[in-house]
Amino acid sequence: MSRTLNLGILAHVDAGKTSLTERLLHTAGVIDTLGSVDAGNTQTDSLALERQRGITIKSAVASFVVGSGSDGVVVNLIDTPGHPDFIAEVERVLDVLDGAVLVVSAVEGVQAQTRVLMRTLQRLEIPTVVFVNKMDRRGADGQRVARAVAEQLATEAPIYFGSAITGAGLDELVAGVTSALPVTDVVDGPLSGTVFKVERGRAGEKVAFVRLFSGTVRVRERVKIGDREGKVTAIAVIEGGTAPRRATARAGQIAKLWGLDVRIGDTIGLAHRDRVRHFAPPTLETVVESPDRVALHAALRQLAEQDPLINLRLDGDDLVVSLYGEVQKEVIEATLALDYGVAVTFRETRTVCVERLRGVGEAVRFLGASPYAATIGFRVEPGPEEFRLEVELGSLPLAFFKATEDAARETLRADRIHDCTVTMTHSGYSSPVSVAGDFRNLAPIVLREAVRRAGTVTCEPMHRFRLEVPADVLTAVLAALGKVGGVPLTTTATVLEGHIPAARVHELHRRLPSLTRGEGVLETEFDHYAGGA
């Protein structure tokens, strides 16, 4: 079959998306027996930790076939986490989707994460259908949820109703998915794919999950990975609930590739599209400690390959990781113990702040004035995050420019310098002594000196909030908001919207039940960093 559909299953936690994935695979004949999230035996929640906790932590891929012959469609199904602490997994999947099913509970209705996901799908123009699940449960109200979907999500997406547990409505959903969402044909031409997931194999080797948009990749073939190359040593293709080894993988398929030194987001072959951020960065961080520091560092580096947004970094002698929430911290602790045999403790979670420039700063190091055979000069100033040249493009080999720019961007990211324009003002090298490593090593030194001269101001993360409360407690809630630094921007009798410091969100969540008799509903989402120019 040459027609494919790469389909994401997205939802607020506990809406039933993993159960829906299980039912779709069972209905299509991929699995003989239905698994259960509660029993910990579903097809896509394969990690021991996922089975223990009953939640999806890592995105997982399976496939099934709808129809037959020339009308048949191979659906590559990607089950994603629902808990907001693991939104990074959803982020990586969005780049490879043709369409999505947004699952909403018929009992709980539209929830905070549902809104975040739908806004993102709409912004990226990913065609979406809505499945209202749990219609068999007490308290289910399909009409109420349909109204909420239309009003609160501002969408006209097709809506289907049913139950992943009983199978009701599944035939209609499958028919709707393959008719309402874009089915793609195999595209000939140059190889183009995107790495959206990285795992470690049994022997510790990297395994890249790649969505192929066009072309074909073969075993023992050398492929382009961004500005470098690698040799594919083995290939497996997602087929049904398994991934058999194959000699080739082609457009439309999701393949596992061995032998490549890759990171999430890397392009295989030609770039399909520019990669952009879809969700807010983590706003929390913590120091991880272990008696076996060497083993801890090695394990965290491997975890950072699988989840780059944990932003592993050194702060003096401390190993620091970024977080979306406390559940993610618990999962990191359990993963280090179960998969790596490393026992760890965490210091208190703290809020991640960023730095913005106060003014303009310049610095330069000339050839011979440092251990590196390079001349680099930078000017930094407040502005868009861009790297500009005031030197002739021919003054350096392109590889030296690339090493300088990459090092500058990595330094800004590591030092959390935001809204900074970097201009290269001086350049020079000595042939044949100079190498790209000289520029890669010198660039951070010069850049940090320029930033020091510009001066910086610390900016804290702010969340946008929406708070629904009973009308009779509005005054008390407004007073509580003021105590945690919340600033209402719009207020009605029952709904408050505004900004609150990220560091105080947990405190507001904790106080809300007693303030509102348990009836308050709070949604928060990162909005901006406060402070600076």
User: What are the per-10-residue average pLDDT scores of the chain (533 residues)?
Assistant: 85 87 85 62 54 67 82 86 76 87 93 84 90 95 93 88 94 92 82 90 86 94 90 93 91 93 88 67 90 94 84 88 87 89 93 94 94 96 95 92 94 91 97 94 97 96 91 93 94 93 88 88 86 63
Q: What is the pLDDT of residue 44?
A: 53
From the options 2.60.40.420, 3.30.70.240, 3.40.605.10, 3.90.1150.10, give the CATH code of 459-530: 3.30.70.240
Beta bridge partners of 376: 365, 427
The domain made up of 284-352 has a fold known as Alpha-Beta Plaits (3.30.70)
The secondary structure of 63-109 as a DSSP string is: EEEES-GGG-EEEEEEE---SGGGHHHHHHHHTT-SEEEEEEETTTB
pLDDT reported for residue 444: 96
Would you list the domain boundaries of the chain?
3-183, 192-269, 284-352, 355-454, 459-530
The CATH number of 3-183, from 3.30.470.20, 3.40.50.720, 3.50.50.60, 3.40.50.300, is 3.40.50.300
* Single-letter code of the amino acid located at 424: M
| pLDDT in the model for residue 154 | 80
464/523 Cα distance (integer angstroms): 8
Distance CA 365, CA 367 (A): 7
pLDDT 10s digits, 295-322 = 999 999 988 888 887 888 888 889 999 9
How far apart CA 60 and CA 43 sit, in angstroms, is 9
- Give the per-residue SS3 of 156-203: CCCEEECCCCCCCCHHHHHHHHHHHCCCEECCCCCCEEEEEEEEECCC
Question: Could you tell me the pTM of the whole model?
Answer: 0.76
pLDDT at 50: 53
DSSP for 253-292? -EEEEES----TTPEEES-SS-----SPPP-EEEEEE-S-
What is residue 310's predicted lDDT score, i.e. its pLDDT? 85
Residue 91's nearest CA partner among 324, 353, 370 is: 324
Q: Do domains 3-183 and 284-352 have the same CATH topology?
A: no
Residue range 13-26, pLDDT digits in tens: 888 888 898 888 88
Q: How does strand 354-357 pair with strand 417-418?
A: parallel
- Please report the pLDDT score of residue 533 as a whole number: 53
Domain 355-454 fold is Ribosomal Protein S5; domain 2 (3.30.230)
Radius of gyration, alpha carbons of the chain: 25
Q: What class has domain 192-269?
A: mainly beta
- pLDDT of res. 418: 92
The reported pLDDT for the residue numbered 328 is 87
Q: Which amino acid is at 187?
A: V
Instruction: Give the contacts of 151 (CB within 8 A, at least 6 positions apart).
Output: none
Q: Which two tokens stand for residue 208?
A: 């890249």
On the 0-12 / 13-18 / 19+ scale of CB atoms within 10 A, 194 is buried
